[in-house]
A and B are shown apart, each in its own frame.
Chain A
Amino acid sequence: DSGVTQTPKHLITATGQRVTLRCSPRSGDLSVYWYQQSLDQGLQFLIQYYNGEERAKGNILERFSAQQFPDLHSELNLSSLELGDSALYFCASSAQTLGELFFGEGSRLTVL
């Protein structure tokens, strides 16, 4: 058990819809990262938050947004969903900005 909790584990929705994925980092970790893993693209970095502030941005679409709350949990919002958004979405946390990463079990999103 990494100590990182992601919900939901599985989500099936339709094109055009909006979903929110939630991540609770390990106790005491200030950094939260979001990654997308699709079959054709592999793992891709989406966005990082550190202590409530956006720290780094990767290949995150404009339809996606994220935030980190004062209690350090984070949410990834995916809107106007397309079939190609079907993927595993991982959250990871670390004590500082990068360093050893602890991954959640992922949220598997299926867009039909």
Chain B
Amino acid sequence: KNEVEQSPQNLTAQEGEFITINCSYSVGISALHWLQQHPGGGIVSLFMLSSGKKKHGRLIATINIQEKHSSLHITASHPRDSAVYICAVEDTDKLIFGTGTRLQVFP
């Protein structure tokens, strides 16, 4: 079993839909990262959080430390949100990555 599990693996949506991507982990962590990888390969850090909730534009990330679970929400999705979203947890001094969720948003 992977230490970091993401669901779903693939997600398609119509423009404007509300999207949720989930991340569960089995190790003790100090923080959790949400990353976005564009089709060209570049990776952008979206959020780093260790408790509660963070919001940036149309993106919201939440984490429940007790349940070892985090969610990434995208409101009013847009085709430019199409990317792979990767959850990664900080375990001591290293990051452990989930396998990613591939999101496609159609107009």
Contact = CB atoms under 8 A, between A and B. Distances in A.
Nearest to B41: A106
A102 B45 contact: yes
B88 to A, nearest CB: 8
**A contact patch SS:** strand
Contact of A103 (B43, B48, B99): B43
Given A2-B44, A48-B94, A106-B41, A101 B33 contact: yes
Contacts of B93: 48, 55-56, 97-98
Interface string B40-55: 0111110010000000
Interface string A92-112: 100001111111011010000
Contact of A100 (B43, B45, B99, B100): B45
B66 interface: no
A45 B100 contact: no
A88 interface: yes
Given A42-B99, A55-B93, A100-B48, A108 B30 contact: no
Contacts of A98: 30-31, 90, 93, 95
Contacts of B98: 42
